[in-house]
Amino acid sequence: MAGTIDRGFLLFSVPLLFHGLFFILSVGAVPDREVDLRSGKRNMVTRFGRGRTRLAIAGTAVVVLIICLAFWLGHLLYPCPAGGFVLASLFPLAAGSTGFLRSSDEREGICREAALNIGSLTAFAVCSCIIIAGMGVPA
């Protein structure tokens, strides 16, 4: 129907918003902490430090997993197989948890962590596209 937003699309935008926060914190905040401190920026990583920001990154991945589980168990994205999104959401969860558990304040370690987080979001996006393409949903 023209002029409406599909309920499934609207629901699926919620985990994507959390993945956006995951991305911004991973790439734009954690690696730039020293520069942000010198320039006087007041953001999450300068206020609370890298450790708490990494906890927030892992937390966003947990929230996405919970949302995807709710989609699957509540059949909220029917006819879409939401169980696939649950599996795909494990990629960012693993990467975010790894960054939190094995953190480094050295530039090289921070860049590896950011690359791992970006790779995990890419894996989530590719898996999600495969799930949707497998349904025969037009782009």
Q: Which domain holds residue 58?
A: 7-134
Residue 18 inside a domain? The answer is yes
What pTM was computed for the model? Answer: 0.85
Q: For residues 82 and 88, give the distance between their C-alpha atoms in angstroms, rounded to a whole number.
A: 10
Is residue 139 very low, low, confident or very high in pLDDT (cuts 50, 70, 90)?
A: low
Q: With the CA atoms of 15, 19, 21 and 22 taken in that order, what torsion angle do they form, in degrees rounded to the nearest 10?
A: 140
Residue 128 inside a domain? The answer is yes
Residue 59 inside a domain? The answer is yes
Residue 23 inside a domain? The answer is yes
Residue 2 inside a domain? The answer is no
Q: Quick: pLDDT tens for 72-88.
A: 999 888 877 888 999 99
pLDDT given for residue 137 in this prediction: 54
Residue 33 inside a domain? The answer is yes
Q: How many domains does the chain have?
A: 1
Residue 1 inside a domain? The answer is no
Q: For residues 35 and 60, give the distance between their C-alpha atoms in angstroms, rounded to a whole number.
A: 25
* More confident: 15 or 101: 15
Residue 125 inside a domain? The answer is yes
